Amino acid sequence: MFGSALALLRWASIGFVVGDWIGLPQYAGQIPKLETEGVWCLCTGVVLPFLAAIFLGFGKRKDVRDTNDAGSAPTGQIRASYLDDSLELFAPIATYLLRLIISAAGTFGFAVLLLLVIYMYYISHPR
């Protein structure tokens, strides 16, 4: 999440620099390099939250159900709970989406924190 925040902030700063340098002939050779670096920073900033969502699930234990016979119904009873079985299919997707939301919120939080730190640094060290 921290790496994603760094990459997205770097992408934004590259955008500001390239926007200021367009039309200035002395920087014409550096603009294509900055544009390719900006593409890499954007791709990194977008992909890393998805990887962080996967890593948030490491170390978690699987649900252990207390069943005597691996989910079969007891003798003489009919199992009528098909809805529960269909919802179990979507449980991993829902947990990944929840982790992805947490990862995106963490990335946003780190970006705000980094901006505050940079702002405080420039206030305390004027040029």
Coil, strand or helix at 51: helix
- Assigned domain for 101 exists: yes
Asked whether residue 66 is assigned to any structural domain, the reply reads no
Angle 31-55/2-21 helices, nearest 10 degrees? Answer: 160
Q: What is the pLDDT of residue 58?
A: 84
Helices (H), the chain: 2-21, 31-55, 82-124
* Domain count across the chain: 1
Domain residue limits at 110: 2-59+91-124
Lowest mean pLDDT segment, chosen from 6-20, 26-40, 79-93: 79-93
Residue whose structure tokens are 């367009």: 22
Q: Is residue 41 part of a domain?
A: yes
Residue 117 lies in a domain: yes
pLDDT tens-place string over residues 43-96: 999 999 999 999 988 877 665 554 444 555 555 555 555 556 667 778 888 899
The pLDDT value given to residue 1 = 93
